[in-house]
Homo-oligomer: A and B are copies of this chain.
Amino acid sequence: MMICTALVFFMHLGFSLLEIGLTRQKNTINILFKNVFIITIGLLLYCLVGFNLMYPGEFNGFFGFAGFGLSSPVVDGALDLSYNEGYTYWTDFLFQGMFAATAATIVSGAVAERVKIGPFMIFTILYVGLVYPIVGSWKWGGGFLQTMDTPFYDFAGSTLVHSVGGWAALVAVWLLGPRIGKFKNGKAQAIPGHNLPLATAGVLILWLGWFGFNGGSVLSADPGLTSLTLVTTCLAAAAGGVVAMMVSGVMYKNLDLTMFLNGILGGLVGITAGADQMSPTDAILVGSVAGAIIVFAVAFVDRIKLDDPVGAIAVHLICGVWGTLAVGIFGSLAGIDQFISQLIGVGSYAVFCIITSFIILFVLKKTVGIRVSEREELEGLDSHEHGMNAYPDFRLNEH
């Protein structure tokens, strides 16, 4: 579990490299700053309020709070290690705390290259500190989605983590509007990322992190289940990548590395809800569908004039929803009752996350504003917000 926590922490490097790799050089410092901020403030907030919002003990199923700070179970002056089997109170906190920050990181990628950093930091504090743990409690804290007759199932967070970030990304992208130059005469223009090697490294680091994300979510050291989970995770990732590569190859006559990478991520997000319930064949199917979804979803987001620089909505939201529903279709829980429970879960999260992220972002937009000035956007956020350049030694192309 502790090793898994380390791997989940490492995912934040993966997200950072992926996001800067897929965006332009002039906004690199800004994205790195946002992501480092998210990890650090996320951990502090989760310590202060989040953990006790998410695991409130007995509560009404919708909202509960066990008090500020961490209060470890101490018996006779020593940490109570009977807390539960396989991991300690502290490990539990840290593992969950690493998850918490992920939701905001997903948003960070979608709003890249045009969001004002101050308001984004406020959004992060509210969304990671309050919204994420409250919705988390509905399932992992023993809330109403857990106590239904056929409990909603989300093994490691297709919905609880990825779609929570994804819904907010959708709202934020819509409220922000597209980057200057993204749509010309109603047609989406490609704005290529500035560093594909770092983007690729980011995806492989994320895949590695998923060993911890899904492996650790078994929440025990049961070697049979944990190892099966790793197998389904890796097969879904591989299938997602290969299918996305083939579908985009057929559609665009191109061997597109970015699609390949997003397909891998789509497969990973898709398998996350049911990684411990699938056979290897199921996993390949779930991943393959996710890979195909990615290609169409990226095109669809473009078509409806939303500008999502890193494909966060396609990967985290749409594949997150797919993966959650797939638990009702494939694997050992498949069935109509389960499928309905999955729908209820997806819907509940959609409603709450859309409303809360809209309120936060709309208020920020109407008060301090959420978008940088046109000049700042054209010249880059790095020089304006941070007074720094990510690669001062290298000459740049004008474009």
Interface residues in A280-329 by Cβ distance below 8 A to B read 280-281, 284
Pair B257/A386 contact, Cβ less than 8 Å: yes
A230–B7 CA distance with the chains assembled, in angstroms: 13
Pair A13/B399 contact, Cβ less than 8 Å: no
Interface string of A7-41 (1 = CB under 8 A from B): 10110110011001000111011001100110111
Pair A397/B397 contact, Cβ less than 8 Å: no
Whether, in the assembled complex, A273 has its beta carbon less than 8 Å from a beta carbon of chain B, the answer is no
Interface residues in A347-399 by Cβ distance below 8 A to B read 385-397, 399
Contact A227:B91 (CB < 8 A) given known A3-B3, A198-B197, A280-B69: yes
Residues of B within 8 A of A28 (CB): 196-197
The one of B37, B208, B394 that contacts A245, using a Cβ cutoff of 8 Å: B37
Pair B192/A392 contact, Cβ less than 8 Å: yes
Pair B16/A204 contact, Cβ less than 8 Å: yes
A200 → chain B closest CB, angstroms: 5
Pair B29/A196 contact, Cβ less than 8 Å: yes
Pair A36/B200 contact, Cβ less than 8 Å: yes
Pair B44/A242 contact, Cβ less than 8 Å: yes
Whether, in the assembled complex, A122 has its beta carbon less than 8 Å from a beta carbon of chain B, the answer is no
Whether, in the assembled complex, A117 has its beta carbon less than 8 Å from a beta carbon of chain B, the answer is yes
Pair B32/A196 contact, Cβ less than 8 Å: yes
A211–B8 CA distance with the chains assembled, in angstroms: 12
Q: In this complex, what residue of B is CB-closest to A232?
A: B90
Residues of B within 8 A of A386 (CB): 254-257
Interface residues in A44-100 by Cβ distance below 8 A to B read 44, 47, 69-70, 72, 78-79, 81, 87-91, 93-94, 97
A203–B16 CA distance with the chains assembled, in angstroms: 12
A395 → chain B closest CB, angstroms: 4
Of A91, A197, A396, chain B has the most CB atoms within 10 Å of the CB of A197
Q: In this complex, what residue of B is CB-closest to A24?
A: B393
Whether, in the assembled complex, A231 has its beta carbon less than 8 Å from a beta carbon of chain B, the answer is yes
A207–B91 CA distance with the chains assembled, in angstroms: 17
Residues of B within 8 A of A78 (CB): 224
Whether, in the assembled complex, A261 has its beta carbon less than 8 Å from a beta carbon of chain B, the answer is yes
The one of B41, B227, B238, B397 that contacts A88, using a Cβ cutoff of 8 Å: B227
Pair A44/B88 contact, Cβ less than 8 Å: no
A296–B390 CA distance with the chains assembled, in angstroms: 24
Pair B198/A2 contact, Cβ less than 8 Å: no
A372 → chain B closest CB, angstroms: 13
Q: In this complex, what residue of B is CB-closest to A93?
A: B231
Residues of B within 8 A of A16 (CB): 200-201, 204
The one of B32, B39, B41, B245 that contacts A197, using a Cβ cutoff of 8 Å: B32
Pair A234/B393 contact, Cβ less than 8 Å: no
The one of B7, B25, B203 that contacts A6, using a Cβ cutoff of 8 Å: B7
Interface string of A185-221 (1 = CB under 8 A from B): 0000000111111101101110110011001000000
Whether, in the assembled complex, A226 has its beta carbon less than 8 Å from a beta carbon of chain B, the answer is yes
Further contacts, 12 of them, CB under 8 A, given A192-B389, A254-B386, A393-B397? A2-B227, A6-B211, A16-B204, A17-B201, A33-B257, A40-B239, A69-B281, A72-B228, A81-B224, A89-B227, A90-B227, A97-B234
Q: Which 10 A-B pairs rank lowest in CB-CB distance, beginning with the nearest?
A: A90-B227, A40-B238, A25-B393, A194-B393, A79-B224, A91-B227, A13-B204, A43-B238, A6-B211, A40-B241
27 A-B residue pairs with Cβ-Cβ distance under 8 Å, sorted by A, are A2-B226, A6-B7, A9-B211, A10-B204, A17-B197, A28-B197, A33-B257, A33-B260, A40-B239, A40-B241, A43-B238, A44-B238, A70-B231, A78-B224, A88-B223, A88-B224, A90-B231, A94-B230, A192-B388, A192-B389, A194-B393, A195-B197, A197-B198, A254-B386, A393-B399, A394-B394, A395-B396
